[in-house]
Structures are given as C-alpha cells and as structure tokens.
Amino acid sequence: MTRQRAIGCRRARLHVPEPVGRCRSVKIMGERVVVVGADATGMSAASQARRMKDASALEIVVFERGGFASFSACGIPYWVGGRVREREALIARTPEQHRARGIDLRMQTEVTAIDLDDSRVRVRPPDAGAETWVAYDHLVIATGARPIRPPLPGMDAAGVHGVQTLDDGRELLETLEWVTGRRAVVVGAGYIGVEMAEALVRRGFDVTVVDRGAEPMSTLDPDMGAVVRKAMCGMGIEIVGNTEVSAIRTGPDGRVAAVVTDTMEYPADVVVLGIGVRPETRLAEAAGLPLGEHAGLCTDLAMRVRGYENIWAGGDCVEVLDLVSGRLRHMPLGTHANKHGQVIGTGIGGGYASFPGVVGTAVSKVCDLEVGRTGVREKDARAAGLQYVTVTIESTSRSSYYPGATPITVKMLAERHSGRLLGVQIVGREGAGKRIDVAAVALTAGMTVEQMTALDLGYAPPFSPVWDPVLVAARKAVTAVRLRG
Ligand SMILES: Cc1cc2nc3c(=O)[nH]c(=O)nc-3n(C[C@H](O)[C@H](O)[C@H](O)COP(=O)(O)OP(=O)(O)OC[C@H]3O[C@@H](n4cnc5c(N)ncnc54)[C@H](O)[C@@H]3O)c2cc1C
C-alpha cells in the first residue's frame, strides 16, 4: 500500500506545475503537503507544519479557490456594523506574508478532484487554463462549510446577501451605502443572524428577524431564547418566530421588495441570510471518503480522516466529538478550526498533538446583550439518554450596590444522581458572556455542580457579587440534585 502510493506520487509529479512565489528557488527533497482551503484550518496547519519542518524537508502547497486567505469571517458582522473600519483588519496574514514564510499559497485555484489511488489532486488554475494534477504525500482537507441557501423564488435577487466571505461583506456594505429604504430583514435567528441584526441596527435600519424556531438562538433552550427575544425586542428589533420563509418578492427593478412567509409579507430593502451552514465535503465525498451522520468528515483524535494515514481534515468540514453527550456533531466554529489546524500541522511535522473533542462552548452578542452557552441543552440531554435536573437563577454582573450592575440569567443542567455538570446557558449584559468559560472548564474537567460551588473564583464588587452568578446557579443545582436526584 505504502509502496503503491510512493510510485503513484512519482508518476503524478511529472505533471506538477512550477511552484509560485518565493518558494520557487527552494530545492525540494522531502515530502509534499497539499492543503485544500486557505483559511483558519488550512493556514494554521500549513504554518504549524512549516514551524516544525523547513522547506528542504517539507514542501507545503496550499490551494485556495477564493480571493482571500487567513481572514476572519467572525469579524464580518462588526465590519458591516462599522465597529471595524477596514476590511484589511480582518486579514490575519496576506498571501505574500505566507509565501515569505515558505508556504506556496496559490490563490483563486480550485481543487476539483482528489485521486486517492494515486495520491494526487486535480487543480484548476485561476486563468481557466488546463487543469493539472499535483501529487501529495500528505493531503489536508480544510474546505470549511457552505451556507445553506434554500431554493426559494427570489433567493438570488439583488439585495439578498449572505455573509460567509469578505466579498459577501463588501457587497452587503455597498448595498447598505446606496439603498435609500431603511427596512432590513434577517432570515435566521442563530448567532450570525442576531449579530447581523446588531450590525444593521448600527447602520440605522429597522430590523426584522424571521426564524422557523419559536425563539431566537436555537443553540439555547427555548426558555433562555425567550430571554434573548425579550431583550432584542427592547432594542427595537422585531423577532418573528415559528415562521417559514417561502419566497423573496422582487420589485419591478428586480431588486428585493419583501420577504414572503406562510402568513404575511415583510417589506425589505435589504435581506441578510443567516440560515446556517453545511460541511463543504462534496470534494471529499466524490473521492469516496466516508462522511458522518452530519455530512462532515470523521477523523481520529490526531485529525486524520478515519482509515487514511496521510489524509487529514479539520475545521468546518469535520464532525467533532461532543464530550458531554458522547455523540458526533457538526459545530462549525473558528475556535475549533484553528486548534484543528495546529494539531494537523504538528502531526504532519512529525510531532504529536490531539483534539479530544468539544463541550460546545460559544459566545455571541447582540447590541449590549451577551449570550454564552456550553454543554448540552435539554433536548440534547434527552436525545443522549441523560437524566437531568435544571435550575435557572437571576443575579447581577457586579455587586448590586456597585455602579453599572446589570441582570444576568443563568440556566444550569446537572445529571440526576451524580450531579455531574451537563450544560450552562447565560444571558445578560456586559460581563455575562465570557462567564461561560468557567462552566466550560468545569465541564471539561467533569466536575459535579457540588465541586463547582467550591471553585476559587476571583471576587471584587466591580467584577461580580461575592457569589458569582455561575456559582449561585451551581448551589441551586446542588439542591435540585439532592431533592430530585
Ligand atoms: C459571519 C460569521 C461570523 C462568525 N463568527 C464566529 C465567532 O464569533 N466565533 C467562532 O468561533 N466562529 C465564528 N464563525 C465561524 C468561523 O468563521 C469558521 O468556523 C471558520 O472560518 C472555519 O474555518 P475553516 O478553515 O474550517 O473553513 P473556512 O473559513 O470556510 O475556509 C475554507 C476555505 O476553503 C476554501 N475551499 C473550499 N473548497 C475548496 C476547493 N475545492 N479548492 C480550493 N479551496 C477551497 C474556501 O474558499 C475557504 O476559503 C463565524 C462565521 C461567519 C460566517
């Protein structure tokens, strides 16, 4: 098997085009890594591999079909909202900077096929020239996720925008600049939808958010989603739940005029889609690589695609192990993507690192409202067969007498009998969101809610009450476990 692969590599290398950039002069003696996708996962993997091995030992070629590498999609809502002024601020490292570090990064170059038998990929160059085959010793699949676009009438109309890439952000900003009406509809009330709602409010739009779920932020339990809805309504954002979008109606000029739902129409001068994403695994699937239940690639702990020694995958195109429920899930987050890349680069560089899984931690904000979540929701716990108790408490961000103290709501789930922490959701104002990290650490450590009550957290009136809201919830959960456990 290894021998066959080596022969395949040599044969395929006859077709390799000249590397571009500064790497051109480097004489390659060692192995070649081919990376597909040049954002968080791909460039973290490439950079880490380069740190571990120099160009004489490892040639690193990265193919990116888009026009940007190493950019922060996470920053798009803040760029659109005007908090971040320059698009360039969202670019961590330019292609030239990567090339200067010995990574052969080829932009606007799409990988169109993977040939597993001969260990090579087919590449379409930017100028629509002839496709060529490039051999690899290691292949990194870092193709990310693609946004869900239901095939509804009017979905492609002018004025309907996604927010997946920097080009999407620029196009949306252009629309916002010249459009005269001030009505915006956001379809989807997940974290990207609510962050975009804030961005549009900051740009002076009247914002309606339409979602098929009863409450916004379906990553929370509905009772906590209701807290978010109430706060968003208080900010003047209209939330329309339990509503399916059936079409986008266009005006005589072909531009978006309204979002049509089962029950009524919502006039719109601009529409932003935040309906969610799917793993971008079409390339991998076509090559015959096995996909999991959520259409993502499944890897081992070192981020190798299961059953393939020299194929690695990470970021939004893989499924990750949920350490709380024990199930695989698709959780497309930049924080995981960067860690996956680091693990992959270390492995390719000859070292050892692993990604054990996630506890499902995420934070987001809409205007001055902060939302944090970690672990399982009630419905996840039920689906995993976990028996649990829940508590919800109201507290404050600072000592109640200290200026600026604001309300915080904390919901906690603990396992019946054992009292093991299962999940936490937090909604509040300044200082609420990142409190979730305490719960994430407790979950990772497998702590019980009783053990949590003894955590030695920092206290001073400007930062928290003497019992931090997370600990207040843990104390109440201890009682609930005793009573109902
Ligand atoms: C608006 C928005 C806000 C977000 N906010 C947060 C946040 O606050 N916190 C958080 O943790 N995460 C956030 N995320 C998610 C985060 O951006 C992603 O999880 C992260 O970018 C995933 O990185 P990746 O490298 O796996 O995939 P991607 O960033 O999607 O990169 C994949 C790359 O592969 C390229 N590619 C795909 N197929 C091919 C091919 N065949 N050939 C060549 N190139 C190919 C694509 O063009 C793309 O550049 C946000 C995402 C968005 C859209």
Q: Is the dihedral of CA 76, 82, 88, 92 positive or negative?
A: negative
Q: Say if ligand 1 is within 6 A of residue 407 CB.
A: no
Q: What is the pLDDT of residue 27?
A: 45
Of the chain, the percentage scoring pLDDT greater than 90 comes to 92
Annotation says 74 is catalytic: yes
CB atoms closer than 10 angstroms to residue 459: 13
Residue 405, classed as helix, strand or coil, is: coil
Q: Say if ligand 1 is within 6 A of residue 361 CB.
A: no
Tens-digit pLDDT profile for residues 13-49: 433 444 433 334 344 568 999 999 999 999 999 999 9
Q: What is the pLDDT of residue 28?
A: 52
Q: Say if ligand 1 is within 6 A of residue 64 CB.
A: yes
Under the banding of pLDDT at 50, 70 and 90, the label for residue 83 is very high
Cα of 5 vs centre of ligand 1, distance in Å, is 31
Taking residues 263-268, report their average pLDDT.
96
Distance CA(482)–CA(266), nearest Å, equals 49
Pair of tokens at residue 61: 């070629």
Atom of ligand 1 nearest to the CA of 109: 43
Cα of 427 vs centre of ligand 1, distance in Å, is 26
Say whether pTM exceeds 0.85: yes
Q: What is the pLDDT of residue 129?
A: 82
b or e along 421-448 (b: 16 or more beta carbons within 10 Å of the residue's beta carbon)?
bbbbbbbbbebbbebbebbbebbbeebb
Cα of 304 vs centre of ligand 1, distance in Å, is 19
Q: Say if ligand 1 is within 6 A of residue 77 CB.
A: yes
Q: What is the pLDDT of residue 29?
A: 62
Cα of 412 vs centre of ligand 1, distance in Å, is 31
Atom of ligand 1 nearest to the CA of 44: 25
Distance CA(390)–CA(406), nearest Å, equals 23
Residue nearest (by alpha carbon) to ligand 1 atom 37: 143
Residue 157 · residue 257 · CB < 8 Å = no
Look at residue 59 and tell me whether its pLDDT is greater than 70. yes
Cα of 37 vs centre of ligand 1, distance in Å, is 9
Pair of tokens at residue 55: 């160009």
Residue 346 · residue 48 · CB < 8 Å = yes
Cα of 161 vs centre of ligand 1, distance in Å, is 17
Q: What is the pLDDT of residue 127?
A: 83
Residue nearest (by alpha carbon) to ligand 1 atom 20: 334
Distance CA(272)–CA(163), nearest Å, equals 8
Q: Which residues pair with 258 in a beta bridge?
A: 249, 267
Tens-digit pLDDT profile for residues 148-202: 999 999 999 999 999 999 999 999 999 999 999 999 999 999 999 999 999 999 9
Q: Is the dihedral of CA 17, 20, 23, 25 positive or negative?
A: positive
Tens-digit pLDDT profile for residues 343-364: 999 999 999 999 999 999 999 9
Residue with tokens 């259409």: 295
Tens-digit pLDDT profile for residues 267-300: 999 999 999 999 999 999 999 999 999 999 999 9
Q: Say if ligand 1 is within 6 A of residue 110 CB.
A: yes
Q: Say if ligand 1 is within 6 A of residue 363 CB.
A: no
Q: What is the DSSP string of 149-171?
A: ----TTTTSBTEE--SSHHHHHH
Q: What is the pLDDT of residue 484?
A: 84
Of 104, 333, 366, 434, best ligand 1 pocket probe by most atoms within 8 Å of the beta carbon:
333
Tens-digit pLDDT profile for residues 390-417: 999 999 999 999 999 999 999 999 999 9
Mean of the per-residue pLDDT values of the chain: 93
Distance CA(60)–CA(332), nearest Å, equals 25
Q: Say if ligand 1 is within 6 A of residue 73 CB.
A: yes
Look at residue 116 and tell me whether its pLDDT is greater than 50. yes
Residue nearest (by alpha carbon) to ligand 1 atom 4: 74
The stretches of 75-139 forming alpha helices (DSSP H) are 76-80, 95-100
Taking residues 364-375, report their average pLDDT.
95
* DSSP state, residue 18: P
What H or E segment, with its residue span, contains residue 398? none
Cα of 226 vs centre of ligand 1, distance in Å, is 29
| CA-based nearest residue to 279, from 236, 346, 328, 332 | 332
Q: What is the DSSP string of 326-372?
A: --EE----HHHHHHHHHHHHHHHTT-------B---EEEEETTEEEE
Q: Say if ligand 1 is within 6 A of residue 111 CB.
A: yes
Look at residue 10 and tell me whether its pLDDT is greater than 60. no
Atom of ligand 1 nearest to the CA of 69: 49
Taking residues 200-226, report their average pLDDT.
97
Distance of CA 237 to the CA centre of its chain: 24
Contacts of 47 (CB under 8 A, 6+ apart): 98, 101, 103, 341, 345
Look at residue 315 and tell me whether its pLDDT is greater than 70. yes
Rg for the chain, CA atoms, rounded:
24
Distance CA(152)–CA(150), nearest Å, equals 6
Of 64, 84, 123, 344, best ligand 1 pocket probe by most atoms within 8 Å of the beta carbon:
64
Catalytic residue among 74, 298, 317, 367: 74
